[in-house]
């Protein structure tokens, strides 16, 4: 039997080697013999989004189109929600539903997704699900860095030929770079946007500084109404305005990988399911290529859909928040609440909210990289992100 070069390159011990050092997002690649390709594959060592877009979508994003500059290569965007939401899913469960349908229809033999450990609802446990029940056991975000690619060796060993991988941008960048080595006949990639991720310890700090009852939080999301919504075990929802977050204490909570990421919208997935470009309560769908369309078509009869919309003007709000974030200013809660209400009434909505979030994070991350890893600035920031950041005046 032919032995591939990477199969001799087993990591000494899972987690023991991380060539990206502090910028490592723990995507899991280095827990496998695919560590052999890490220098080319790691999203933090070799930014190659443009080249990989060309390889997988047939072209890189059109920088003359504002929609593509922001949201990546796509055929279509829409807002959607399940007619019958999956209880306990992050939103309405479109991601889990697509994965279940693909298994049931025999389109794939397995799904890489993330369950949680028995002891801790937020501790990620990547698995290859082979049944809809196992997919459903992975519903809801584990809002922590998750080594999804650590199961890739099991894929090769299982002899599986058709696979669906669910993941966030950094995981998908590394996956795309080693895709040809996996011995698969068909790979589908269902992505979610991702931002401001944390280690498990960082998550604890975030919950403790932000929620009134950190131990009972079952899920949370940074919502389009400019508040963090914490859902608690008893079903109650606690809302904390973004502008009231203790930014001075939270500055170091987000993982350095996420502070230097410019792939918020998961540009290399076939289909992306998030929420930020959709009206409140709806999910946001980005169909990047024909495989993405095939996945979406499988569940379309279970969805209500509507066209994407865009309203408001984000740019002033973004510009004003740059120095505030930079200096770690925190507004008193009463002021933050008033600001939240005003912004919600007149602020950006739909795709303009998504642009607001991208602009805020890209400017913050650009400054982080400039200050902490200036030698990486030129190669690591993709051209589309340089153009987005270039719209704003940044402090030195
Ligand atoms: P579900 O049906 O509940 O399925 C969730 C899926 O996510 C599961 O299949 C699971 O395997 C996978 N998953 C869970 N945790 C992780 C993880 N840590 N890494 C990789 N995969 C995971 N959308 C936005 O529009 N804007 C954002 O800023 C944004 N930030 C996000 C940050 C994180 C860390 C994650 C995981 C997702 C984020 N999303 C964001 C996506 C959004 O929160 C929902 O996950 C998405 O809309 C799907 O909802 P659903 O109800 O269809 O998912
Ligand atoms: Fe390895 Fe992934 Fe960390 Fe890069 S981000 S060093 S590929 S585990």
> For a pocket test of ligand 2, which of 30, 32, 171, 197 has the largest count of ligand atoms closer than 8 A to its C-beta?
30
CA distances from 224 to 79, 167, 331 (A): 14, 22, 19
Interval between CA 145 and ligand 2 midpoint (Å)? 11
Greatest CA separation found in the chain?
A: 68
pLDDT band of 248, cuts 50, 70, 90: confident
Q: Is the CB of 322 under 6 A from ligand 2?
A: no
Query: Is the pLDDT at 6 greater than 50, yes or no?
Result: yes
pLDDT, residue 2, reads 57
What share of the chain in percent tops pLDDT 70? 90
Which position has the token pair 């469960």?
93
- The DSSP-derived string for 185-245 is SEEEEEE----S---HHHHHHHHHHH-S-GGGEEEEEE-TTSEEEEEETTS-EEEEEGGGS
pLDDT band of 1, cuts 50, 70, 90: low
Query: Is the pLDDT at 331 greater than 70, yes or no?
Result: no
Q: Which of 93-107, 148-162, 210-224, 350-364 has the lowest mean pLDDT?
A: 210-224
Q: Closest ligand 2 atom to the C-alpha of 27?
A: 2
* Ligand 1, CB cutoff 6 Å, lining residues: 89-96, 113-114, 124, 138-144, 146, 148, 166-168, 192-195, 197, 221, 273-276, 283-284
pLDDT, residue 12, reads 47
Cut 0.95: pTM above it? no
Query: Is the pLDDT at 9 greater than 80, yes or no?
Result: no
Interval between CA 24 and ligand 2 midpoint (Å)? 5
Tokens of 108: 């794939």
Query: Is the pLDDT at 15 greater than 60, yes or no?
Result: no
pLDDT band of 101, cuts 50, 70, 90: very high
Three-state secondary-structure class, residue 257: helix
How far apart, in whole angstroms, are the C-alpha atoms of residue 356 and residue 386?
16
Q: Using one digit for the tens of pLDDT, what is the confidence trace for 40-72?
A: 999 999 999 999 999 999 999 999 999 999 999
Q: Closest ligand 1 atom to the C-alpha of 145?
A: 18
**Angle between helix 315-327 and 351-372 (nearest 10):** 30
Tokens of 306: 């509507």
Q: Is 304 exposed, middle or buried (0-12, 13-18, 19+ CB in 10 A)?
A: exposed
pLDDT, residue 200, reads 87
Q: Is 364 exposed, middle or buried (0-12, 13-18, 19+ CB in 10 A)?
A: buried
Helix ranges (H only) for the chain are 38-41, 49-57, 66-71, 94-104, 132-136, 152-158, 169-178, 200-210, 247-250, 256-259, 290-299, 315-327, 333-346, 351-372, 377-380, 383-389
pLDDT, residue 347, reads 78
pLDDT, residue 41, reads 98
pLDDT band of 336, cuts 50, 70, 90: low
pLDDT, residue 225, reads 81
Q: Is the CB of 31 under 6 A from ligand 2?
A: no
Q: Which of 111, 76, 22 is nearest to 271 (CA)?
A: 76
pLDDT band of 92, cuts 50, 70, 90: very high
Tokens of 183: 């011995």
Torsion angle in degrees (nearest 10) through CA of 99, 70, 223, 257: 80
Q: Is the CB of 36 under 6 A from ligand 2?
A: no
Interval between CA 6 and ligand 1 midpoint (Å)? 30
Interval between CA 20 and ligand 2 midpoint (Å)? 6
CA atoms within 13 A on the CB side of 259: 20
**Angle between helix 290-299 and 94-104 (nearest 10):** 90
Are residues 155 and 163 in contact, defined by beta-carbon separation less than 8 angstroms? Answer: yes
How far apart, in whole angstroms, are the C-alpha atoms of residue 151 and residue 33?
11
Interval between CA 28 and ligand 2 midpoint (Å)? 6
How far apart, in whole angstroms, are the C-alpha atoms of residue 168 and residue 27?
9
pLDDT band of 320, cuts 50, 70, 90: confident
Q: Closest ligand 1 atom to the C-alpha of 124?
A: 18
pLDDT, residue 338, reads 65
Give the residue-averaged pLDDT of 306-331. Answer: 81
Give the residue-averaged pLDDT of 350-356. Answer: 95
Query: Is the pLDDT at 14 greater than 70, yes or no?
Result: no
Identify the top-confidence range among 202-206, 299-303, 357-361. 299-303
Q: Is the dihedral angle over the CA atoms 82, 87, 93, 99 positive or is it negative?
A: negative
Q: Which of 214, 212, 209, 273 is nearest to 247 (CA)?
A: 209
Q: Which of 92-96, 138-142, 149-153, 319-323 has the lowest mean pLDDT?
A: 319-323
Contacts of 242 (CB under 8 A, 6+ apart): 222, 226, 227, 228, 336, 340
How far apart, in whole angstroms, are the C-alpha atoms of residue 69 and residue 347?
22
Give the residue-averaged pLDDT of 375-386. Answer: 97
pLDDT, residue 117, reads 94
How far apart, in whole angstroms, are the C-alpha atoms of residue 284 and residue 238?
23
Average pLDDT in the chain: 91
Q: Using one digit for the tens of pLDDT, what is the confidence trace for 259-304?
A: 999 999 999 999 999 999 999 899 999 999 999 999 999 999 999 9
Q: Is 236 exposed, middle or buried (0-12, 13-18, 19+ CB in 10 A)?
A: exposed
- Taking residue 58's Cβ as centre, other Cβ atoms within 10 Å add up to 10
Q: Is the CB of 109 under 6 A from ligand 2?
A: no
Q: Closest ligand 1 atom to the C-alpha of 113?
A: 11
Give the residue-averaged pLDDT of 80-97. Answer: 97
């Amino acid at each position: 039997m032919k032995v591939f070069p990477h199969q001799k390159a087993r990591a000494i011990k899972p987690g023991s080697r991380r060539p990206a050092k502090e910028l490592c997002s723990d995507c899991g690649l280095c827990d496998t013999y695919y560590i052999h390709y890490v220098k080319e594959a790691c999203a933090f060592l070799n930014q190659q989004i443009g080249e990989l877009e060309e390889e997988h979508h047939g072209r890189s994003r059109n920088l003359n189109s504002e929609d593509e500059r922001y949201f990546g290569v796509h055929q279509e965007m829409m807002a959607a929600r399940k007619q019958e939401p999956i209880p306990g899913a992050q939103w309405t469960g479109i991601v889990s539903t697509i994965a279940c349908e693909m298994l049931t229809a025999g389109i794939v033999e397995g799904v890489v997704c993330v369950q949680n450990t028995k002891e801790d609802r937020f501790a990620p446990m990547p698995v290859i699900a082979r049944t809809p029940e196992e997919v459903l056991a992975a519903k809801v975000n584990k809002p922590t860095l998750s080594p999804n690619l650590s199961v890739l060796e099991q894929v090769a060993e299982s002899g599986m030929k058709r696979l669906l991988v669910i993941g966030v941008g950094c995981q998908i960048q590394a996956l795309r770079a080693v895709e040809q080595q996996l011995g698969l006949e068909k790979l589908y990639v269902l992505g979610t946007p991702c931002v401001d991720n944390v280690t498990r310890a960082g998550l604890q700090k975030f919950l403790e500084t932000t929620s009134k009852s950190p131990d009972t939080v079952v899920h949370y999301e940074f919502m389009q109404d400019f508040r963090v919504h914490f859902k608690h075990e008893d079903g109650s929802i606690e809302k904390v305005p973004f502008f009231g977050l203790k930014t001075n204490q939270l500055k170091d909570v987000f993982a350095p990988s996420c502070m230097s990421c410019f792939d918020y919208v998961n540009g290399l997935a076939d289909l992306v399911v998030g929420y930020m470009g959709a009206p409140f309560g709806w999910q946001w769908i980005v169909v990047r290529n024909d495989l993405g369309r095939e996945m979406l078509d499988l569940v379309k009869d279970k969805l209500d859909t509507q066209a994407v919309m865009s309203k408001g003007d984000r740019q002033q709000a973004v510009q004003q928040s740059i120095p505030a974030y930079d200096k770690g200013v925190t507004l008193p809660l009463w002021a933050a609440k008033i600001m939240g209400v005003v912004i919600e009434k007149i602020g950006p909505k739909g795709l303009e909210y998504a642009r607001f979030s991208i602009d805020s994070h890209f400017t913050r991350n650009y400054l982080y990289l400039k200050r902490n890893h200036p030698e990486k600035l030129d190669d690591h920031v993709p051209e589309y992100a340089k153009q987005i950041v270039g719209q704003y005046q940044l402090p030195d």
